[in-house]
Amino acid sequence: MPNAVEPTLIEPLFQALQKERFVIVCTIDHETGAPNASAISWVYAPAHDKVYFAVDQRSRIVANVQANPAMSIVLIANESTYSISGKAHVKVEKLENVPLKLAVIQVDIEEVRDVMFYGAKIALEPKYEKTYDAQAAAKLDQQVMSALKQA
C-alpha cells in the first residue's frame, strides 16, 4: 500500500515545525548536479504551505537554491519520516536582529510524502545538543527563531 502524499503540511507536521528541530535539507549541488544534504535546526513553518529556514549566507545551500530551486526537507515527526518537497528561494538575504550573517530560505511546498518503510514507525525522535556554550547557544537560537517568525 503506498504511503500518503499531501499537497501541504498535515497538522502534526505543521505543529512540529513551530519550534527549532533537527531536519535534513536536500538540494541539488550547483557545481556537480549531485544531491547535497545538510543537517540544520533553525526551521519554522509560518503556514501549512511553506517552510522557512535560516543558514549562513555563505552556505552551499544558498548557492544551490539560487541555481536550482528544487529541494526537499526530511523531517522525522508524528512517528514517521516525511519528505517535504517544493521550490525554494532566498526570502531574506540578511536576517535582522541576529549577530550572525544568516539568510532565510523559503520553501513553497508542492508535496509532503510519508517515506517511512512499510511496517515500521519511529519510536524515538532524534535529539541533539549544542556542543558550544549552552547559554550562548540558547540565546542565539531564541534570536534566530524569533527573527524567522518575523521574516
Q: pLDDT tens digits, residue range 46-59? A: 999 999 999 999 99
What are phi and psi for residue 47, nearest 5 degrees?
A: -155, 170
At 86 the pLDDT is 98
According to DSSP, residue 4 is labeled P
Euclidean distance between CA atoms 136 and 138, whole angstroms: 6
Give me the number of domains the chain comprises: 1
**Domain containing residue 83: CATH number:** 2.30.110.10
pLDDT band at 27 (very low <50, low <70, confident <90, very high): very high
- Residue 68 lies in domain: 4-150
Q: pTM to 2 decimals?
A: 0.94
